[in-house]
Structure 1
Amino acid sequence: MSRMETSRTLSAFPKIISVDDHTVEPPDVWRDRLPKKYQDTGPRIVRAPLKEMTFLGGKFAPVMGGPGDDGPLGDWWVYEDLHRPLTRLDTAVGYSRDEIKLEVITYEQMRPGSYDVPRRLADMDVNHVQSALCFPTFPRFCGQTFTEAKDRELGLLGVRAYNDWMVEEWCGPDAHGRLIPLTLVPLWDARLAAAEVRRNAARGVRAVAFSEIPPHLGLPSVHTDDWDPFLAACDETGTVIAMHIGSSSRMPSTSADAPPAVGSTITFANCCFSMVDWLMSGKFERFPNLRVMYAEGQIGWIPYILERADVVWEENRGWGGVADKVHRPPSELFAGHVFGCFFDDAFGLRNLDAIGIGNVLYETDYPHSDSTWPKSREVGEAQMGHLEAEVVERIVRGNAIELLGLTDDGLWAGPGGAR
């Protein structure tokens, strides 16, 4: 391709709607929203030294030091007995790959776009991104932090406080409709979860975070009826269930001493297991408007799993426990209900016909270490250069507009959104 052709192609690349970015919550999210009696137990930031930290076998284990202890200073979220530091892996954009290490940091040591709305929009402009859906940091990808807490009353208040901040501030007027809300639910109670889905849907929210494998959190599986109140609420309100890799608090790994590189290579595995769960659960037939998406799971693995699931359903459903609840081939259910998300998957794009043009969404993963920022446009063009312009348009923004109920211009139109 000539330099002139490359320039012309890049200038025509659609403005990106990223369905997987992240926010680092400012220090005052819970401090400003919880009752006074919870000021000393609710989530708050403390600056303290790090004593030690390991990340092996998919398990992250930091130890916070006290006054007089040596060690690098970092900002820590403290909540009940939890001490969780901000780390360079939470917000790595602006640093070279070789500089990105597992280390504690302060807010002053991160790119301001990680937590500040105007700075985020500026960084989106640099990256050819129009709109972005953001997953949490301190609550973890689907609110596991509150699910694991001892005080359920405080946990519910924490979930609601986060959602209020997400809708009213992060996606508020200063965002001009460019930040798309993703809310949490109290995972320990499906009826409370359903109520929270409906509360947020009433103010224009169309996406909720959920765990890819709930039993890893000590919760029921999707094969039970326990989640039905929550699923019914999502079905009725058109709320998409968004599952991020790691939203079961257990990243794939092979052994307790496997280095992080092993888990990083096979991060898609939980998404794979989860998708088979959903396809064989019968939930898509019971809740026909239900939609699920897998953030950061990539897409290249999907064709084989669909092929295998169809074979199992066709040949083994009689003894496989699904004949009475899964009445169509899993690949047909996938086409109507499941969306794969990617930011760097040339193999998947070469096999797009086996996945489905309408089942693929684009992401940039800002501000994580895997992020393609500030080159998401160039990365997308390099991988999608063989596709027709209409196909690229659907992948980069059209599918997200339809799935998330955005305006034709790709903006969120809820309270404080697009004007």
Structure 2
Amino acid sequence: MMATVSPAQLEGVSGTQDKIWAHSGDSHVMEPDDVWTARLPKALADRAPRTERGEKYEVIYVDGKQKTRHLNDFVDAMRPPGVLDLDIRLQDLEQEGVRCQLAFPSVGFWSVDIEDPELSVAVARGWNEWSRDDYMGRQNRIFTPAILPLADIADTVRELEWAAENGFQSVFLPCGMPAEKDWGLDVWTPLWDAAVANGMVLAYHIGTGTDTVVYRGPGGAVVNYMETTYPGMRVVSHLVAGGALDRRPDLKVLVAEGGAGWVPAIGDRMDEAYRQHGMFVRPRLDRLPSEIVRSQVYTSFQHDISAVQVIEDTNYYNVMWGDDYPHLEGTYGHTQQTLHQIFDTVDPRIKDRVLRGTFEELFKVPSDEDLSQVTVKAGTDSDGQ
């Protein structure tokens, strides 16, 4: 059975005559409560990431550890209609003018805190099978990066290879890591080589792997929002300066949701260090850091006007837009207003690059003809149709 809704049927709601269409390089899925309990043995499922809501706090449990954060009823109230319903979510895409989404985990982000290799492998595979079967298997417009177990590098590589064989195009990695596992270290060499061999994009998302509340003084909400961005900058500087990208020119890195205007600036900064402090620089690179950045580092933004303004003057074209669906920082409900504000006066070449070209350079997407209808598989019958 298939549920279908054509864009024309939604025209009265979304105003498609003047609609700007875009791919989103940063969205999110909201996992069902049983994403692990339905797939893992109880002993492992009980230690998988889960959340519990009280009157004032939400408690996150991961592998015997717990964290608390304030509840935010306002955030819940602002969530789009399709946050937990794939059929409705695809209608949300039609309404908002979004062609395809790269959709990162939500609760799955907490998997990076798992230190036990057995649990790490089980949680990653359980999440990936859920995405493959129950999410990507039902439609072709929203696809996720695979989660990787990070406790043991051999397991990390095996899961990337499995993900490539099962239709994933990218892998999610956290920006923050313990010092002994910083992304610039050689311990990750097998992962970089496997990513190149399997054509997988390294999809980092800001605000992951580290505490997102680091300051409690005046302006804390803004300061902490900024603090989520800095680890993404460190990822780029480590992978560039450490030589991982220079030695693998086909390796592509995406830093999602952290804006884009900063990328050419840190390229310049690394060039200065490489030039002025050359006597101390190890390893030597075959290209300047800024050249590596412009060639292999991709970024996404939601509202940043500067991200588009600097493209031509800085020659940094690896920029894509993202709706951050269904998060509060995203554009749901005002996507078209936001896109028109940013792009109405932008050169059509730049506009097409940011809204479509960059995304399609990284990911294979359905043809426009295949995207002409909302299609959701309602179930699988005995012969697999």
What TM-score results when the alignment is normalised by the length of structure 1? 0.77
Per-residue deviation at 1:83?
5.2
Cα distance per residue 1:242-300 (max 9 Å; x no partner)? 11111232337456887233111453322222221122111112222110011111012
- Confirm or deny: 8 A CA contact 1:182 1:207 kept in the other structure: yes
Opposite residue 188 of structure 1, the aligned amino acid is A
Residue aligned with 2:174, SS? coil
Which whole-Å CA distance do the structure 1 matches of 2:51 and 2:266 have between them?
A: 43
Q: Pick closer, same or farther for the CA change 1:23–1:411 going to 2, 3 Å.
A: farther
Per-residue deviation at 1:407?
3.7
Question: Percent identity among equivalent residues?
Answer: 25
Query: Which residue, 118, 123, 132 being the options, matches 2:92?
Result: 123
Equivalent residue number for residue 132 of structure 1 = 101
Q: Pick closer, same or farther for the CA change 1:123–1:94 going to 2, 3 Å.
A: farther
Cα distance per residue 1:152-202 (max 9 Å; x no partner)? 3122111100011112111112x2x11112111011112211111111111
- Confirm or deny: 8 A CA contact 2:298 2:318 kept in the other structure: yes
Equivalent residue number for residue 380 of structure 2 = none
1:286 maps to 2:247: yes
Query: Which residue, 138, 159, 166 being the options, matches 2:131?
Result: 166
Equivalent residue number for residue 25 of structure 1 = 31
1:198 maps to 2:203: no
1:247 maps to 2:208: yes
1:409 maps to 2:372: no
Residue aligned with 1:285, SS? coil
Which whole-Å CA distance do the structure 1 matches of 2:32 and 2:163 have between them?
A: 21
Q: How does 1:61-100 map to 2 (within 5 A)?
A: 62=58, 78-82=61-65, 92=75, 95=78
Equivalent residue number for residue 156 of structure 1 = 121
Per-residue deviation at 1:314?
2.1
Residue aligned with 1:133, SS? strand
- Alpha-carbon RMSD: 3.1
1:16 maps to 2:12: no
- Confirm or deny: 8 A CA contact 1:236 1:289 kept in the other structure: no
Equivalent residue number for residue 71 of structure 1 = none
Opposite residue 272 of structure 1, the aligned amino acid is M
- Confirm or deny: 8 A CA contact 1:30 1:44 kept in the other structure: no
What TM-score results when the alignment is normalised by the length of structure 2? 0.83
**Number of residue equivalences:** 361
Residue aligned with 1:18, SS? strand
Residue aligned with 1:263, SS? helix
Equivalent residue number for residue 104 of structure 1 = none
Which whole-Å CA distance do the structure 2 matches of 1:252 and 1:273 have between them?
A: 18
- Confirm or deny: 8 A CA contact 1:340 1:359 kept in the other structure: yes
Q: Pick closer, same or farther for the CA change 1:122–1:195 going to 2, 3 Å.
A: same
1:303 maps to 2:288: no
- Confirm or deny: 8 A CA contact 2:80 2:332 kept in the other structure: no
Q: How does 1:352-391 map to 2 (within 5 A)?
A: 352-356=311-315, 358-391=317-350
Q: Pick closer, same or farther for the CA change 1:417–1:332 going to 2, 3 Å.
A: farther
Which whole-Å CA distance do the structure 2 matches of 1:301 and 1:347 have between them?
A: 9
- Confirm or deny: 8 A CA contact 2:177 2:210 kept in the other structure: no
Which whole-Å CA distance do the structure 2 matches of 1:355 and 1:252 have between them?
A: 33
Residue aligned with 1:168, SS? helix
Which whole-Å CA distance do the structure 2 matches of 1:148 and 1:405 have between them?
A: 31
- Confirm or deny: 8 A CA contact 2:114 2:151 kept in the other structure: no
Residue aligned with 2:108, SS? coil
Which whole-Å CA distance do the structure 2 matches of 1:89 and 1:155 have between them?
A: 29
Which whole-Å CA distance do the structure 2 matches of 1:378 and 1:148 have between them?
A: 38
Structure 2 stretches of 5 or more lacking a match?
1-14, 378-384
Cα distance per residue 1:40-75 (max 9 Å; x no partner)? 4445666x534x54xxxxxxxx55xxxxxxxxxxxx
Q: Pick closer, same or farther for the CA change 1:329–1:357 going to 2, 3 Å.
A: closer
Opposite residue 20 of structure 1, the aligned amino acid is D
Per-residue deviation at 1:365?
0.7
- Confirm or deny: 8 A CA contact 2:97 2:336 kept in the other structure: yes
Which whole-Å CA distance do the structure 2 matches of 1:285 and 1:113 have between them?
A: 41
Equivalent residue number for residue 273 of structure 1 = 234
- Confirm or deny: 8 A CA contact 2:112 2:174 kept in the other structure: no
